[in-house]
Chain A
Amino acid sequence: MGVKLAVPSVTRRRISLTPLIDVVFILLVFFMLETTFLTEAEVAVAAESQGGAVSAEQPLQLELLDADWVWLNGERVAYSQWQAALDALPIDPNARVQLRTAQRIPVQRVVDVIDALNTRDITRVSLGRTRGFAP
C-alpha cells in the first residue's frame, strides 16, 4: 500500500544551439579584448642616498640632461655613441653607477640606459636628480 510516485517524465529536450553560440561568442570577444600576450619584466633600481654619504669607491657617473647627449663621468657623449664610450671605460661589474636625470627626460630613456647597463652585468644602479648645472 505504498504511495504511488509519479514516474519522472524523461522527455529529453535538445539543447538549443543559438543561445549557446551567443554566449560563447561573447566570451570569445571578451577574452580577445582583455588578453595580453606581452611579458612583463622588471629592472631593479635604488634611490640615490641623500646627504652625500661618500663611499670609498668612485661610482660611474651618468647624467641624462637632454635627449641627444649623455654625460659619462662628466664628458659629453652623443646618445647614439654612449654605449661604445661605456665599453671603452674599464668598468668591473660590481661598480656602482649613479644615474642622474633632468626633469623632462622620459622614463623610457631612463629604462633604456639602465637596460644597457644591465646587459653589461652592471646591476647596482642608483637613480637621482641632476645637481647644479643645466646644459
Chain B
Amino acid sequence: MIRLAAPHRAARDVEVAVVPMINIVFLLLLYFLLAGRLMVTEGPGVELPTGGGPSQPEPAAVAVVVDENGAFWLGTRELTEPELREHLRTLSTAAAAASVLIRADGRAEADALQIVLEACQSAGVAEIRLATIQAG
C-alpha cells in the first residue's frame, strides 16, 4: 500500500498576510473616496429620468423633489400643493431671479410636474430646470 504523507502545514502558511490586505483595502477606500460622490440621501429617494446634456449643473437656489407618487418634497419635508405655492412665492420675492431645480422621479406622472411648473410660474421664478441622469 502506498502511504500517503500527512499534509504538512505550518501554521504560518495558513495565516493570511495582513499587510498586503490592508494595502488593498486602503487603495479601494481611496478609490471610492476620490472617484465617487456621495449620494443625496435627503428626502425621498427618486429615480431621476435619463437624458440631458453634458452641461455642468449649477447649484439651484431651491430643489423641489417630486417622488414616484407625485408628492412634493422640499428637503425632508413633504409639502401640500398650497404650501409649495406659498414657499415658491416667498422665495421668488426674496431673491429677484430665483432658479428652481425640479428633481422629479422618471416614473411620476407629468401632472405633478405641471403643478410645480404652474406654481413656479405664478411665483415668477425666472429659471426652471429638470434634473436628469446623464445617459450612457
Tell me if A78 is interfacial: C-beta within 8 Å of chain B: no
Specify the chain A residue showing the minimal Cβ separation from B35: A37
Which residues from A are CB-within-8-Å of B101?
A: 42
Q: With both chains docked as a complex, state the minimum distance between the C-beta of A42 and any C-beta of chain B, in angstroms.
A: 4
Q: How far is the CB of A44 from chain B (nearest CB, A)?
A: 5
Q: State how many residues of chain B have any CB contact under 8 Å with chain A.
A: 49
Total number of residue pairs linking A and B with CB closer than 8 Å: 152
Of the stretches B6-14, B53-61, B74-82, B89-97, the one at the interface is B53-61
B1 at the A interface (CB under 8 A): no
List chain B residues, Cβ under 8 A from A118: 53
CB-defined contacts of B111 to chain A, threshold 8 Å:
103-104, 129
The dominant DSSP class at the B interface is mixed
A11 proximal to B (CB < 8 A): no
A87 at the interface (CB under 8 A from B): no
- The answer on a CB contact under 8 Å between B52 and A111 is yes
Task: List residues of chain A with CB within 8 A of the CB of B50.
Answer: 108, 111
| Contacting residues, chain B, for A35 (C-beta < 8 A) | 32, 35-39
- B133: CB under 8 A from chain A? yes
B38 engages A107 (CB within 8 Å): no
Question: In the bound complex, do residue B121 and residue A47 qualify as a contact, i.e. CB atoms below 8 Å apart?
Answer: yes
Given known contacts A108-B107, A111-B52, A45 and B117 CB-to-CB distance under 8 angstroms: yes
Q: Does residue A81 face the partner (Cβ distance < 8 Å to B)?
A: no
Interchain CA distance A36-B46 in the complex, whole Å: 14
Give me the interface of A with B, judged by CB distance under 8 Å: 17, 20-21, 24-25, 27-28, 31-32, 34-50, 64, 101-112, 114-115, 118, 127-129
